Amino acid sequence: MNQPSEAASIREDGSIDRLAIDTIRTLAIDAVEKANSGHPGTPMGLAPVGYTLWRDFLRYDPGVPDWPNRDRFVLSVGHASMLLYALLHLAGVREIDANGKPTGAPAVGLDDIRQFRQLGSKTPGHPEYRMTTGVEATTGPLGQGCGNSVGMAVAQRALAARFNREGFTLFDHDVYVLCGDGDMMEGVSGEAASLAGHLGLSKLCWIYDSNSISIEGPTRLAFSEDVGKRFEAYGWNVLHVGDANDTQAIVEALEAFRKTQDRPTFIVVRSVIGWGSPRAGSEKAHGEALGTDNVRATKKAYGWPEDAQFFVPDGVAEAFNAAIAKRGKAAREAWESEFERYRQAFPKEAAEFEMLRWGRLPEGWDADVPSFPADAKGIASRDAGGKLLNAIAPHVPMLIGGAADLSPSTKTNLNFEGAGAFEADEHAGRNMHFGVREHAMGAIANGMALSYLRPYTATFLVFADYMRAPIRLASIMEVPVVFVFTHDSIGVGEDGPTHQPIEHLATLRAIPGLDTIRPGDANEVAVAWQVALGRTNGPTALILSRQALPTIDRGKYASADGLRKGAYVLADAKEGDDPEIILVATGSELSLAVAAHEQLVADGVHSRVVSMPSWYLFERQDRAYRDQVLPPHVRVRLAIEQAGALGWDRYVGADGATITMSTFGASAPLAKLQQKFGFTRDNVLKVARQLVEGHTS
């Protein structure tokens, strides 16, 4: 608290609720003003909504903010981050460290709010998961939080189906979202809402701040549809609150949500952005600090001390914390007591959930991973991936996923006994049917991963473009989603350039924290899936082929286990001989490199083949290992990959070359395309010999 002597004079006829709402507003004003950066308007307009939801409905224990059956609150309007930070501060939420241990410190202290948007603070411009206790998802790109919330609601249903038993209700929490006009304009929210309505996710509530303002001005410039009617068509229960300041109407709408058992709820709340500000409804109230004069005038309108900054009146935080904690602590303690009884009655299930909660995998989860014998004809890596997925999934609890209406092509359907499908009336199924909704699929998977599940998604690699935002956010949040991408090259053939990825590998590899793995045969696929599921601190993209790839003879060449280090020497020159050339390849081009290598060796050229399925993993090895695989003194190197050349210069150097794609593909049978673009043994040999001769001449 600060300036307590002024508390009594602020609003003599005002309730503690009014004081709390205006405290949220003024904290947002002061934080944005001090930072000279941020969005004060939405927190000001939505303060009554956020306050009412948290104080009267949210089942949440500020002292133990990570208990599993807590209600989830997602701020999809991430630019309104000060609303969340103010709520976390006033609610007295306590901090949890990176190891899941309480520190005793506040999650967001008043000093943290003073450091809003500053380097190293716990109050960044948009809420960031892991950085700030109480932030359930990293939001900012509009619509993503909406998608995440659908994944959280799916997870609630899946967890309940797996763990709830007669007499034991471990999972029945609600998921709340604050969203705005920008969220509604972004297509991802429509994709996610459509699926949520189809699935009848009745524990999901979106509260839509309809304030009719965007950064460019009134939303009527580009947005005039009746959003409520759209959501009715999606199958949601649509309610309306005419004034965001009418807290009784908000209460009634939230009570109606809780009574709705067959579909999600969409509450349209009409607000005035920057309520109380002389510039309310203006772009300035939305997207930047108000300025000294407007701040004083706004505080005067609230009956606030005009010169007070970061002022929390006596009793406000205590009353807010008491209201939330009384309900939340009792619910949390009852849950913990119930879980202990559950542990006695269902020890196996209790142990399974504990593994999920702490991100562990069960003993022997990969015991049934198959190995594949050498085979010149081979198997498509997508087919090998399907075999691996179905060998592992029965042993990995809550490994749930699906494709964007492409599972027959991506081979990602779980077909073991009891796998089933997750549907509106069946929540124990392990197969998700996302429909043709790649963008929402990625956002939903992130929400599932934030709620103890181990999700995977699948589509063609070229459609990674539709998923870039959620893939990037999965990396920022460090959640272990597995993104499966098949049809990974011009090997798609007759489908033509619209379906043939060229630049996609480079753009995925550019995302920090994303492990992009392109295995070269079935045994590398087996290791890749083990690596992906063994990872708990970030996402993985598995890049798989449509066409069959020869299964390399691992008795003759190195073990596929080398994939765990990102790159390894697959085939080498005779013992003791330095290679004259190193052929580096990934995916479908690995067998091409091996074929060229065998001919080079027969011709007396000291050749080495390096399989490099994961740049990410290779860069995390020590210098000694990297130099062992790619000796710095061996400067003649040739990279072979049916994708763009961008990035390969780091590995081939100034004296090396690439056989890669510099144009889009074409529609033709695969053999014709390989000939046209140079992905043949003869062309690899030609380029390799030219490199060797050029270096020795």
Residue reference for tokens 């709520």: 87
DSSP class of 547: S
- Check: CB of residue 583 under 8 Å from CB of residue 640: yes
Chain centroid to CA 578: how far? 44
The answer to whether 422 and 400 are in contact (CB under 8 A) is yes
What tokens were used for 446? Answer: 């992130």
Q: What is the DSSP string of 456-519?
A: EEEEEGGGGGGGHHHHHHHHHHT---EEEEES-SGGGGGG-GGGS-SSHHHHHHTSTT-EEE--
Contact between 616 and 516 under an 8 Å Cβ cutoff? The reply is: yes
* Three-state secondary-structure class, residue 614: coil
How many of the other CB atoms lie within 10 Å of CB of 216? 10
Count Cβ neighbours within 10 Å for each residue of 75-103 and write b for 16 or more, e otherwise.
bbbbbbbbbbbbbbbbbbbbbbeeeeeee
* Cα–Cα distance for residue pair 290/280, rounded to 1 Å: 10
- 3-state SS track over 369-432: CCCCCCEEEEEEHHHHHHHHHHHHHHHCCCEEEEECCCHHHHCCCCCCCCCCECECCECCCCEE
Question: Euclidean distance between the first and final Cα of the chain, in Å?
Answer: 79
Which residues are the active-site residues? 438
Sheet containing 454-460: order of strands: 431-433, 399-403, 454-460, 482-486, 540-543, 515-517
Which residues on adjacent β-strands are paired with residue 209? 180, 269
